[in-house]
Each structure stands twice: as structure tokens, then as C-alpha cells.
Copies of this chain bind each other. A is one copy, B any other.
Amino acid sequence: MLKGPFLSRDWMGSVPDYNEAKIVMIGLPFDGTCSYRPGSRFAPEVLRPASWGLEEYSSVFDKELCDVKFFDAGELEFPLGNTKASLDLIEENVLQVYKDGKKFLGIGGEHLVTLPALKACLTKYPNLAVVHFDAHTDLREDYLGEKLSHASVMRRIGELTGFHNIRQIGIRSGLKEEFELMSEYGTLIHRVEELECFRDKKIFLTIDIDVLDTSVMPGTGTPEAGGMSYKELCGWLYYLKDFDIAGADVVELAPDYDSSGVSTAVCAKVIRDVLMIL
């Protein structure tokens, strides 16, 4: 046999054995309902090598990735063009993660992949709360007639968890009626203290990476001016580090629009931060 040494093909800092892990990272290369610029399907594949450009140690969280026992399961293979079957495949695998007593970390793909993952998480924790970072409300009843759309994912999730169990951060784009829905339920928050109501709940954390400003994150499907800096997002995650997060995902990186590679580098760091608080 060859002695190598060979570079690892897994995410930096991951453990090689599923059984040893407390967290299971699954790539979800699905962008079938994308309405504008497609290609988030390529995100998990480019994030893995990019992860090796990071340090394992985070000075913010004063923690090393080797202290976080996570397993990199790879990317699911989807039946192309069949949204329903794709979502079922996600749900089934995430259910298994929770059945095995582990936490789930999804790497999108478009935002619709959150729906089946959250369903699976909800099976284990029926009283789940959702913390949602995004530029867009994603609260449409449907998009051009389709109910299963990235633009409707939070509406579908709210129907499952109740909208009072959702808090949304960074939202700056949507229809008038979506903003009214946020007002009605008070989902849109602006200060970390507004998260306190979820202090004793299990939380699913979903980060649409376009919550970051277009200057920080050009590589996404629907860039929207006026977003957060990385430091602001990191501040929110730091606040969440003592909350009880049962599952999470980071979605909507679109590498084809990231010619400099920095969107991917920033997204990889956000994922490292999420790993630190899971």
C-alpha cells in the first residue's frame, strides 16, 4: 500500500467515523426551484476544499474544530428535476441522523432543502423553534403557482412549527404581504436580546448566506443590497452559542458567481462558526 501522506478529502477537522460523531454534515446539492441565478448545487463540492484554507482554531470561540466531533457524510445524489423525491431523500437521511442520536448540519443547495430537514428534526423535537437568517422573507404562499419553492420555504415551515416559533434576522426584501405577516407574528427581529424567548427551546438554525451584504457575498443566487457584514453575523452566532441548537443548515452559496473565491471562503468560515456552536 501507498504511504502518502495524502491530503484529506473530507472537511477540515472532521472525524473519519460516523459513529464517533455528534454532528453529521450532509451536502444537499439541490437547486431545482431557483427563480433567478442557479448553481447552488455546486456549493457543497467547492466548500470542502475551501475549508482547508481556514485555521482549525477560532479565536472568537476560542475552540478548535478537533473538539467538535463532526462527520462529513458527503453529498446526497438527487433524482434531477424531481423536487418531491429529492426532498423525501433529504428527510429520510436526516431522520436517520436524529434516530442515531446525532445533530444535523446541512450544506445547501437552495433554501428549499431546509423544509425536509426541519420536518425530520421536528419529529424528534415537536416543540422546535426556528432562527432564520436571510435577506428575503421566503414567506410567499406560492411562487408562480408552486408551493414547494425556495421563496415559500419559511411559509411552509411556519405552517409546521407555528409562526410564533420563528425569528427572522436580516430580512430586507419581500412582498408587502410578507412584511405584514412578519409584523403580525413579530418574527422579524433586530437585536440579539429578542432571541431570549427561545432560551429554553430546541432550535433549528437556518442561514441563507445572502443575509450577508452583496459586497461580502456576491456568490449567491439573489444578491440583495443592504445586508450584514460577516462580523455582524458572527456576533449573532456568538450570542447563540449558549442556546440549545438541535440542527442547522447553511444554504444558497452559488459558486459560479464567485470568481474571486471569497464568497466560498466566507461561507466556509460561517460553517466553521456554526460547527462551533452546534
- A interface residues, Cβ below 8 angstroms from B: 1-7, 9, 18, 24, 26-27, 29, 31-39, 41, 45, 49, 53-57, 59, 64, 73-83, 85, 92-93, 96-97, 100, 143-146, 148-149, 172-176, 179, 213-216, 218-219, 222-226, 229-231, 234, 256-263, 265-266, 269-270
Most chain B CB atoms below 10 A, which of A6, A45, A80 = A80
Query: Nearest residue in B to A38 (C-beta to C-beta)?
Result: B38
A2 engages B77 (CB within 8 Å):
no
Q: In the complex the two chains form, what is the Cα distance from A260 to B41 in whole Å?
A: 17
Query: Nearest residue in B to A273 (C-beta to C-beta)?
Result: B225
Q: Which chain B residues border A64 with CB–CB below 8 Å?
A: 176
B229 engages A234 (CB within 8 Å):
no
Query: Nearest residue in B to A10 (C-beta to C-beta)?
Result: B9
Q: When the two chains form the complex, which single residue of B56, B81, B100, B223 contacts A262, counting CB atoms closer than 8 Å?
A: B223
Q: In the complex the two chains form, what is the Cα distance from A85 to B146 in whole Å?
A: 11
Task: Count this chain's copies in the assembly.
Answer: 6
Q: In the complex the two chains form, what is the Cα distance from A34 to B49 in whole Å?
A: 17
A57 engages B93 (CB within 8 Å):
no
Q: Which chain B residues border A93 with CB–CB below 8 Å?
A: 2-4
A18 engages B38 (CB within 8 Å):
no
Query: Nearest residue in B to A72 (C-beta to C-beta)?
Result: B9
Q: Which chain B residues border A148 with CB–CB below 8 Å?
A: 81
Q: In the complex the two chains form, what is the Cα distance from A37 to B49 in whole Å?
A: 12
